Amino acid sequence: MVNFKEDKDLMPLNHSCAHVMAQAVKHLYPDAKFWVGPVVEEGFYYDMDLGDKVLTESDIEAISKEMKKIIKDGKRIVRHELTRQEALDMFKDDPYKIDLINNMDEDTNISCYTQGDYTDLCRGPHVESVKECKFFKLIKFSGAYWKGDANNKMLQRVYGVCFRTEEDLNAHLTELEEAKERDHRKIGKDLGLFMVSDLIGKGMPLYLPNGYVLWRTLQNYITDKEIKYGYKHVHTPDVGTKQLYLTSGHWDHYKENMFPAMEVDGETYVLRPMNCPHHMVIYGNDIHSYKELPLRIAEIANDFRYEAAGACKGLERVRAMTQNDSHIFCRPEQVEEEFKSVVNLIMEVYKDFNVDVNKFQFRLSLRDKFSKTNKYYDDDEMWDKAENALRNVLKDMNLDFFEAKDEAAFYGPKLDVLVKPAVGPAVTIPTVQLDFLLPKNFELSYIDEDGQKKTPVVIHRAILGSIDRFMAFLLEETKGNLPTWVAPVQVKVLPVNNEYHLEYAKEIQQLLLDNNIRVELDDRDEKLGYKLRETQIKKIPYTLVIGDKERDAKTISYRRFSSQDTTTVSKEEFVELLLNEIKNKGNK
């Protein structure tokens, strides 16, 4: 999906279309006043004060109609430079523009743009004429507090998109509809997987019974997979002392993303935002020989990070998450082999979820050595060593990667694996990070073959990322039609008539439970057609219909999700079919 903010052609086009929308609103509501109308990733929006007016769908249609008139008139968009006083005089009756002007730096160049009878304070850029904004669509509207502050007045916000051609616009609108169908928040609600509650807190998802089954399935899957790769799993507290994060360096580089500190018994604690400091302490609990390395410590760990309330989104952007995390302590000469092993694990895992790994993009995320933000630990020699090591490994593996400055962690470079979802731009889920700093900060060591103390290298890696975000990704990839091996309910058993068929249906249910198959029996006094439709809505992989024929012959008749075909087999055949599908994850 296009990023309007970064597209050099669509950004000024959408900026101009925002002004056309404001002009149309001004025609329809002469007393309207405007706050800001920026281009964002999803298109453009404008915040406007319409007094007591609350926009409706019919109002949006009227605004669109007026916009088309303005565009057809084809006025040029003209830029004017203003002094601060000229700007204050021009917008003296608009408190929102006066606020903007008064908050500008003294040396800011102030400009405005005029198109016909409408002038707006704006730095630009814009297209030459409003007629270029012909192919637009206003897509949604909502309330928005001025400056995002709930103590301020509620304004009206209208979102839109604009393209160069009708074909591009229609393609984008189709993609938006597809995205709505794939929105994990909608799917999660429809399937009864998770919920959020303001009483609990924003960004704090609550997993309902079926959602927790899915969550636990993902946890068990990745834990078992890691054990096969030689990982040792640990469990550590959800809090740590401030001193822990001062030692790691996170306090200086990451504290704005942490929850506020807590004072307990004269000591300062914080909810942990990451797990590496805890794992460093675990490694440092013992003396290690070079023969023990690599030591792979893994954890399914709860982490807490501050996200702005407006940024929280379902399971995708949360304040409380569960990370599939690990730290590999190794000798420098083992880095390449361990790095390759992590990449192979990533490929294996995503193939199990039927993700096309051939579409992966590999980004080598580096520091910006000229950054003035103190974002990175200041040690040029360490950074050069780490970046070159990671770059050489990627080249040796023949991975097609690209480099991105100013994307590294504060302690070292990383490989970000960008996964292409069904809809939208690629997203980063797995990451692998190389770290020479934290083992140094925690004074970690191992005894080498010469009896000398050496500092290990640490590889940070996350395969699923957070289980929460991965679940959101999986729901959107599959539209909630989860593979049988992952589905919270794998089989639904429907007796045609409880009086005659319930006893055999219970027998089938127990047989499946005995084989560790997730099964539910629907013995409600409802019509069979109603119950069949519900299994389709809930996207249950297998539905069993138990009637006279099945009871008398001791067989099973099943339907696959989204299929009208019914297949009848023996109980033993069905169990074998299902167990093979679960074991092979639907790949055979």
* pLDDT surpassing 60 at residue 582: yes
Banded pLDDT at 2 (limits 50, 70, 90): confident
pLDDT level of residue 373 (50, 70, 90 thresholds):
low
How remote is the C-alpha of 220 from its chain's centroid? 21
Q: Is 23 a catalytic residue?
A: no
pLDDT of residue 372: 59
Indicate if 323 belongs to the active site: yes
pLDDT in tens, 381-404: 878 888 888 888 888 888 889 988
Give DSSP secondary structure letters for 347-412.
HHHHHHTT--GGG-EEEEE---TT-SS--S-S-HHHHHHHHHHHHHHHHHTT--EEEETT-SBTTB
Q: What is the pLDDT of residue 587?
A: 65
* Mean pLDDT (whole number) for 15-20: 94
DSSP 527: -
- Counting Cα atoms < 13 Å in the Cβ hemisphere of 29 gives 20
Residue 56: DSSP 8-state: -
- State yes or no: pLDDT of 213 exceeds 70: yes
Q: What is the pLDDT of residues 482-541, one digit of tens each?
A: 999 999 999 999 999 988 999 999 999 999 999 999 999 999 989 999 999 999 999 999
Per-residue pLDDT reduced to its tens digit, 409-418: 888 888 999 9
- Annotated catalytic residue within 47, 120, 303, 325: 325
Query: What average pLDDT score do residues 205-229 get?
Result: 96
DSSP string, 479-498: TT---TTT-S--EEEEES-H
**Would you say residue 588 has pLDDT above 60?**
no
Residue 34 · residue 150 · CB < 8 Å:
no
User: Vertex 256, ends 255 and 259: CA angle to 5°?
Assistant: 75
Report percent pLDDT > 70 for the chain. Answer: 99
Reply yes or no on whether 305 is catalytic. yes
Sheet holding 239-241: strands in order across?
239-241, 267-271, 262-264
* Conformation bin of residue 424: beta by default, left when phi > 0, alpha when psi is -120 to 50: left
247 pLDDT higher than 90: yes
Which position among 134, 279, 440, 460 bears the catalytic label? 460
Q: What is the pLDDT of residue 209?
A: 96
Quick check: 301 and 186 in contact, CB under 8 A? no
Query: Residue 88's pLDDT band (boundaries 50, 70, 90)?
Result: confident
pLDDT of res. 508: 96
pLDDT band for 100, please (50, 70, 90 cuts): confident
Strand partners, 327: 297, 460
Active site residue 26: no
In contact, 307 and 300? CB cutoff 8 Å:
no
Query: pLDDT by residue (tens digit) across 447-459?
Result: 999 999 999 999 9
* Residue 362 burial class via C-beta count within 10 angstroms: exposed 0-12, middle 13-18, buried 19 and up: middle
Residues above pLDDT 90, as percent of the chain: 69
Q: Which of 134, 305, 440, 531 is catalytic?
A: 305
Average pLDDT of span 150-179? 92
Whether 326 has a pLDDT exceeding 70, the answer reads: yes
Higher-confidence position of 304 and 102: 304
pLDDT score at 371 = 67
Residue 463: name the closest of 583, 344, 331 by CA.
Answer: 344
Mean pLDDT confidence for 145-164: 90
Strand order in the sheet with 542-546: 519-521, 491-495, 542-546, 555-560, 567-570
- pLDDT at position 386: 83
Which of 155-164, 225-234, 367-376 has the lowest average pLDDT?
367-376
| DSSP per-residue letters across 420-438 | --SSSS-EEEEEEEEESSH
Residue from 23, 115, 156, 323 carrying the catalytic annotation:
323
Average pLDDT in the 567-571 region? 94
Lowest mean pLDDT among 27-36, 47-56, 341-350, 405-414: 405-414
State the catalytic residue, choosing from 276, 509, 522, 531.
276
Is 414 among the catalytic positions? yes
